[in-house]
């Protein structure tokens, strides 16, 4: 962890441990959206996802004094969420039946499956400035619906690595994945997202919204 | 290095953790292969966009409940 970041973490943790409510509220506000998006990978029920996040925060409050600082606070909070979510989603699944995991389409497996190296060479996207894509609500919607349709683990790895920005080693620990497995899953997930953006950039096509979400519902 | 191997290393390259022994082969391949260059550009844009992906924009509806729980636990300890 870079030194400045480590100092900020130390200040935050000291604040939390001394009962600084403002620091705690800021942390809750900062992480809530990301935690909720992540909790939704474990369940199709929005209410249960909210419960999982709430239980996570209560466990964080109880665990603050025992937190050993072997990871960042953010990673620690996400790892607590995974444990709560696995218990709570399993309990819920017994009552309501398993939810579907979306398609298992594989976009690219490095080194296997395709004889030619490029069946279709990527064509550059017509962007004067790559940053233009960040202004595009539609591009984000394409990414969101592609994420929503991913198999559970793939979606979790991409969310933690590329959306939340956790280091690879933390993601392995949080999700109980080997380094190799994490790498392969991430690679496929990223390839899939690139391909979805490519389809959108080349001909404006957008992936269908998964059932249960309105158009663009994931982004609001 | 062929296209497969190059693509496999793109994630590392974009995160700045490409193994030093792979660097030369990786750069050399990109120099020669426009398709992989395009792919790398697109992957970079995709990752940049993911970093900026809007999170669900909601305030925790039970925010005050949490702050109260935080407050209570701190008080009990003191």
What ipTM score was computed for the predicted complex, to two decimals?
A: 0.89
Inter-residue contact B56 to A37 (CB < 8 Å): yes
- For A3-95, CATH number? 1.10.1740.10
Mean pLDDT of A12-31: 93
A137-162 pLDDT, tens digit per residue, is 899 999 999 999 999 999 999 999 99
Residues 6+ apart with CB under 8 A from A74: A31, A164, A166
Burial class (CB in 10 A: 0-12, 13-18, 19+), A208: exposed
* CA distance linking residue B50 with residue B10, whole number of Å: 16
Q: How many Cβ atoms are within 10 Å of B74's Cβ, its own excluded?
A: 18
| Angle between helix B34-51 and helix A179-203 axes, rounded to 10 deg | 100
Task: List CB contacts (< 8 A) between A198 and chain B.
Answer: 42
Residue A178, pLDDT > 90, answer yes
Q: How confident is the model at residue A97 (pLDDT cuts 50, 70, 90)?
A: very low
* CA distance linking residue A50 with residue A218, whole number of Å: 15
A90: tokens are: 């399993």
Residue A188, pLDDT > 70, answer yes
B31 has a chain A CB within 8 A of its CB: no
Residue A129, pLDDT > 90, answer no
Q: How confident is the model at residue A118 (pLDDT cuts 50, 70, 90)?
A: confident
Which residue in the set B5, B55, B73 is minimally distant from A34, CB to CB? B55
The topology under which CATH files domain A130-203 is: Arc Repressor Mutant, subunit A (1.10.10)
Inter-residue contact A202 to A123 (CB < 8 Å): yes
pLDDT tens, residue order, chain B (78 aa): 888 889 989 999 998 889 999 999 999 999 999 989 999 999 999 999 999 998 877 777 788 999 999 998 877 765
Which residue in the set B46, B53, B78 is minimally distant from A190, CB to CB? B46
Distances (CA, A) of B30 to A135, B1, B6, B11: 29, 10, 8, 14
A57 has a chain B CB within 8 A of its CB: yes
A107 has a chain B CB within 8 A of its CB: no
Best residue in B70, B72, B78 for a mutation probing chain A (most A CBs within 10 Å): B70
Every domain range in chain A assigned CATH 1.10.10.10: 130-203
A43: tokens are: 């369940």
Supply the pLDDT for residue A50: 93
* CA distance linking residue A92 with residue B45, whole number of Å: 38
Supply the pLDDT for residue A59: 95
B61 has a chain A CB within 8 A of its CB: yes
Burial class (CB in 10 A: 0-12, 13-18, 19+), A43: buried
Every domain range in chain A assigned CATH 1.10.1740.10: 3-95
Mean pLDDT of A188-194: 94
**Is the pTM above the cut of 0.80?**
yes
């Amino acid at each position: 962890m870079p030194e400045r970041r480590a100092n900020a973490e130390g200040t935050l943790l000291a604040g939390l441990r001394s009962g600084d409510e403002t620091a705690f509220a800021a942390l809750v506000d900062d992480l809530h959206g990301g935690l909720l998006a992540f909790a939704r990978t474990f369940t199709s029920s929005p209410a249960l996802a909210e419960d999982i996040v709430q239980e996570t925060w209560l466990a964080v409050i109880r665990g603050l004094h025992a937190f050993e600082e072997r990871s960042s606070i953010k990673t620690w909070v996400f790892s607590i969420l995974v444990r709560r979510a696995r218990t709570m989603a399993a309990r819920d699944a017994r009552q309501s039946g398993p939810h579907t995991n979306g398609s298992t389409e594989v976009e690219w497996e490095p080194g296997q499956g395709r004889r030619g190296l490029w069946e279709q060479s990527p064509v550059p996207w017509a962007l004067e400035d790559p940053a233009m894509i960040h202004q595009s609500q539609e591009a984000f919607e394409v990414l969101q619906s592609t994420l929503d349709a991913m198999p559970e683990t793939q979606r979790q790895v991409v969310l933690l690595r590329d959306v939340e920005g956790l280091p690879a080693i933390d993601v392995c620990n949080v999700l109980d994945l080997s380094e190799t497995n994490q790498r392969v899953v991430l690679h496929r997930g990223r390839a899939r997202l690139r391909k979805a953006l490519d389809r959108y950039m080349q001909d404006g096509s957008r992936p269908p919204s998964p059932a249960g979400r309105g158009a663009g519902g994931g982004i609001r | 290095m062929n296209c497969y191997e190059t693509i496999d290393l793109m994630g590392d390259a974009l995160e700045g953790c490409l193994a030093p022994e792979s660097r030369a082969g990786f750069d050399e391949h990109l120099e020669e292969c426009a398709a992989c260059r395009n792919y790398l550009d697109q992957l970079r844009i995709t990752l940049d966009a993911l970093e900026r992906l809007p999170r669900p924009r909601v305030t925790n509806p039970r925010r005050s409940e949490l702050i109260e729980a935080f407050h209570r636990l701190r008080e009990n300890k003191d």
